[in-house]
């Protein structure tokens, strides 16, 4: 027989704390509310649920949501300046989002006080926006010249949407490598950073952001090139539109190209095209702009799909891969 849980004595006074006043303690420690139970079985239960509950679209409401998704899942080396509500704190000349940082640091406060925030790290909760906001806040007050480590994020902490200026733009810059880790103003990288830089550069896939359409990224692989395009439209509506174009034979980007499927990442769809090895990013610009016009027309159609379009939709759905 299992042991009975000790009962709190009736005469023992219990701490009268409001929900918002109960501090976070270790999971196996007594709950500060005075119930006599461990924190994880008392007030920690709701907090744990809030932390682990998955937020499907963590970047929704941020300027450039599609580019945030691309930098998180598709682009090896890129940076983007971030703009804080109310401006930058004293002693912080700039805040920059980076795809990754040396040794997988979540963030780095440089010697000059500027902050780099990494996007592609593992996170502790189901809300990527809250995890990144917590890291950013700690980086803003870290000692210059120090990296910022990971930690458990409070369930009621702020999100990026609370910290970033929603009226500012989001302009990613894609790099050919990770030399932005070591700016010219710093003399040299440490041996660990230099080794991490060498490994990262060797693994980076050449990637270019198209200039004529939003959130479309060309990349080069040994066998063929690809265009991966993060789109903001609702998934069901976008699948219908792509199916209409596919059934009509107008879903490609020109001769030798093919719409092969899509990723699903952070609540958005990312259609993917196979491209010939000789088709570079510049050669994609005009076909992508023309496809954007055809897609806009297909999105505006609300008639039921034909039998051929339904078959095309089924094929596209079967070739979806969920990244997150």
| Buried b or exposed e, range 256-291, using 16+ CB within 10 angstroms | ebebebbbebbbbbbbbbbbeeebebebbbebbeeb
Asked whether the beta carbons of 160 and 59 are under 8 A apart, the reply is yes
* Residue-level pLDDT at 299: 98
Mean pLDDT within 49-59:
78
Is the pLDDT score of 171 beyond 50? yes
**Res. 30 pLDDT band, cuts 50 70 90:** confident
What are the distances in angstroms from CA 277 to CA 25, 191, 221, 230, 283?
56, 36, 8, 22, 11
Which region among 17-26, 75-84, 190-199 has the lowest average model confidence (pLDDT)?
A: 17-26
Question: What percent of the chain lies above the pLDDT cut of 90?
Answer: 70
Task: Give the integer Cα–Cα distance in Å for 177 and 256.
Answer: 29
Question: Would you place residue 7 in the very low, low, confident or very high pLDDT band (cuts 50, 70, 90)?
Answer: very low
As a whole number, the mean pLDDT across the chain is 88
Residue 191 confidence (pLDDT) above 90: no
> Where are any strands of DSSP class E within the chain?
78-81, 95-98, 107-109, 115-118, 146-148, 173-174, 207-209, 216-220, 225-229, 258-265, 268-275, 320-322
C-alpha to C-alpha distance for 39 and 101, rounded to whole angstroms: 35
Q: Report residue 51's pLDDT band, with 50, 70 and 90 as the boundaries.
A: low
On the question of pLDDT at 300 being above 90, the answer is yes
């Amino acid at each position: 027989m299992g042991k009975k849980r000790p009962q709190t004595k009736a005469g023992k006074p219990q701490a009268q704390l409001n929900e918002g006043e109960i501090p976070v303690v270790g999971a196996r420690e007594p709950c500060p509310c005075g119930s006599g139970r461990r924190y994880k079985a008392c007030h920690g239960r709701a907090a744990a649920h809030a932390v682990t509950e998955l937020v499907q679209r963590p970047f929704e409401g941020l300027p450039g949501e599609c580019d945030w998704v691309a930098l998180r899942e598709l682009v090896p080396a890129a940076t983007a300046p971030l703009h804080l509500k109310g401006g930058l704190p004293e002693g912080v000349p700039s805040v920059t989002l980076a795809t990754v940082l040396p040794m997988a640091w979540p963030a780095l406060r440089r010697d000059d006080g500027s902050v780099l925030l990494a996007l592609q790290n593992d996170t502790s909760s189901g809300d990527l926006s809250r995890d990144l906001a917590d890291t950013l806040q700690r980086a803003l007050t870290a000692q210059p010249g120090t990296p910022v480590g990971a930690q458990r994020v409070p369930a009621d902490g702020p999100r990026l949407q609370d910290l970033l200026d929603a009226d500012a733009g989001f302009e990613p810059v894609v790099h050919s490598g990770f030399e932005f880790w070591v700016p010219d103003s710093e003399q040299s990288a440490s041996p660990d950073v230099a080794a991490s830089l060498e490994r990262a550069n060797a693994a980076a896939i050449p990637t270019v952001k198209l200039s004529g359409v939003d959130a479309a990224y060309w990349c080069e692989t040994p066998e063929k090139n690809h265009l991966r395009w993060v789109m903001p439209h609702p998934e069901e509506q976008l699948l219908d539109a792509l199916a209409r174009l596919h059934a009509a034979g107008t879903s490609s980007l020109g001769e030798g190209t093919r719409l092969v499927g899509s990723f699903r990442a952070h609540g958005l769809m990312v259609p993917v095209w196979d491209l010939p090895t000789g088709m570079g990013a510049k050669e994609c610009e005009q076909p992508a702009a023309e496809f954007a016009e055809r897609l806009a027309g297909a999105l505006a159609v609300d008639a039921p799909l034909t039998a051929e379009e339904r078959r095309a939709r089924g094929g596209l759905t079967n070739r979806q891969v969920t990244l997150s």
